[in-house]
Every structure is written in C-alpha cells, then in structure tokens.
Structure 1
Amino acid sequence: MSPGRIDYYDDPAAPAANSLVPSVNVVVVNDAGEILMIRRSDNDNWAVPGGAIDLGESVAQAAVRETREESGIDCEITGVVGIYSDPKHVILYTSNGEVRQEFSIVLTARPLSGQPTPSSESSEVRWVPTSVVREYTMDHSMRIRIMDYLERKASPVIT
C-alpha cells in the first residue's frame, strides 16, 4: 500500500504545486512539558495535530477542531510558533493528484480534557517528552516546526 501523502522538500523531482490551502498545526503541551504527537495514518510519520482550515471557521477554531479529531484532546490556543509557506515544500496527495504548496500557521496550546485516542487520521497518539521528540520519524517540515517551538524564539517564525 502506498502512502496517501508524500512530502517533498527542496526536491527537484517533486511535482509542481497546483493548490494552496491554509492549514494549522498545533503544538499542545501538557503540564509535564510533553508534546502531543500523532502518527499519521496517511504516511506513518509522527507530527503534531493539524489540517486544513474550513470555510466559516477561524484559525483558532480549526486548530481546536483538528486537534480533537486527530487526537481526542480538547485544547485551548495559547500562542503562535510561526507561519510556514516555503514553496520548496510541497505535499502530494496520491488519492487525487493534488499537490499543495505548504501554508501552515503553527500555534501552541494547552490541553483542557480528553485522552490520547487514535482516529482515522492517526494510528497512534501519545504525549512525548521534549528530550526524545527529536528521535521520532517525521517529515522535514514538521521537524523544522517542532524545533522552532523548542527554541522558544522571541517572535513568530515567518517563512
């Protein structure tokens, strides 16, 4: 079975982008300082929750919805890590041939309720200590976002 999503970063063999879809990712951090991570069903890589912003919802609403849908955790948005729109990062969705240019707003949040629960979009969900998060298999762009969070930059990253 081939993955439903293939990420390319600065790859001359990458297909040309044919769409741009605003999306969110959420770095949810619990009281122990652990990051909520999901193992994506579409490519088996680890990531923080996230997805497309639907018409009629705000960035914060999309972030809370996507986190709940993918992880079972309800959260409250607390800040911004950055805005990521690097045209060198494209995502191929093999089901329909869509090739998206990256456009993701990465937010921070704290959990309010719920238990880590897999969904159709996540095969595993867990709280990961920041000391080991670097060891997890993830796409290059997701690693950049998480490292930017861990560096606690003075102002949001804009790429």
Structure 2
Amino acid sequence: MQMPVHIVAAGGFVTNENDEVLLVKTRRDGHWVFPGGQIEVGENLIDGVIREVKEESGMDVTVSHLVGVFSNTATYEGHSGVKIVPTKVMFDFVCEPVGGEFTTSDETSDVRWVHKEDVLNMISAPALRTRYQAYLNFEGSVHYMDYVTKPEFEVKSKRTI
C-alpha cells in the first residue's frame, strides 16, 4: 500500500463590520481569491490561517469558526518541478479583523474589502466560488465537499456535518 500524501491548507473568510469580505489578487494568475494557503510543517490550522491572511493581506485576524472542509481528490501534474500534486484538504474559517494594514506580498498584487454580495462577481475559479457559496450558506453545520478540479471542476459529493 502506498502511504497517503495530502496537502493541508486553510482559507480565511475575513469579514468586517460593513458586511465586506477581504479579497486578495494573486500575482501568479491575476485572479481574486480569499486569503489562505498551505499549512506548514509543525503548524496547526488556526495558526496557519492567521499567518496566511497576514502574509497575503497585511491584516491581523482572530478565527471565529469553521465553515467548511473540502477535499480536492484530483491528482495532476504540477508546476515549478512538482511532478504530481496530491490530494488537497482545505479547511475554511470565518475570521475577524483585529488590526494591521493592507499590504501586498510576493503572492499578492492587490488587497481590498468587497461587499459580500459582490464577491462572486470577482472570484472566477469554480472551486473557490463553491467554497465561498458554502460560507454564504453556513447555518451552523460545517459543509463538507469532495471535488476534482482537473480536467474540469466536478463535485463528487457534498453534505453538512
């Protein structure tokens, strides 16, 4: 049996008192996304999402609650020398801003607050749109979804837990 390998990542839906959501624009492809990324070795999920939000936007946050767990079970050829990108497991959290100032990073070229209803007009990736919709639909139960992004986006299963 081959030992399983998963990338673990966390995303942050940072919302302010004006019902706006924090978005960052990626340098790699110029798309708008909510901040997040891979959890580092020895790092827990909460610290990881706080770090990712700070690195990508300059904002300091606290984590409120978990809204979704998502598995991208597609494996595909990567970039930058990565032969195969393994299964990814993403944990999405609602976060509250507690300080900091907007800054960009080597991963982001822009940062802004976007009214909650306008976010889907800016996010183009189907997987991110699906995860954002789960955030909008959150009613106390965590969303779980299994999907693939390659060769095209397809939801394999979904439920609340």
For the aligned pair, the TM-score class normalised by the smaller chain equals 0.7 to 0.9
1:92 and 1:126 map into 2 onto residues whose CA distance is 32
Change (3 A) 1:19 1:44: farther
Normalization by structure 2: what TM-score? 0.80
1:116 to 102, 110, 114: 102
Q: 1:1-159 alignment to 2 at 5 Å?
A: 20-88=6-74, 93-97=78-82, 98-159=84-145
What does the per-residue CA deviation read over 1:100-141, in whole Å, with 9 as the maximum and x for residues that have no partner? 323100111000001221111111110110121111143111
AA aligned to 2:59 is I
- Sequence identity, in percent? 28
Structure 2 runs not aligned, ≥5 long: 146-161
Q: Which runs of 4+ in 1 moved over 3 A?
A: 90-93
Number of aligned positions between the proteins: 141
1:45 and 1:91 map into 2 onto residues whose CA distance is 21
8 Å Cα contact 1:28/1:111 also seen in 2: yes
AA aligned to 1:109 is C
What does the per-residue CA deviation read over 1:16-59, in whole Å, with 9 as the maximum and x for residues that have no partner? xx952111001000111100001111221111111111122210
Normalization by structure 1: what TM-score? 0.81
- Secondary structure at 2:63's aligned position in 1? strand
8 Å Cα contact 1:91/1:101 also seen in 2: no
CA RMSD of superposed structures (Å): 1.8
RCO greater where, 1 or 2, for CA within 8 Å and sep 6 or more?
1
Greater CA drift, 30-39 or 131-140: 131-140
Greater CA drift, 38-47 or 95-104: 95-104
What does the per-residue CA deviation read over 1:64-109, in whole Å, with 9 as the maximum and x for residues that have no partner? 0000000000000000111100314x57542123423231001110
1:66 and 1:99 map into 2 onto residues whose CA distance is 20
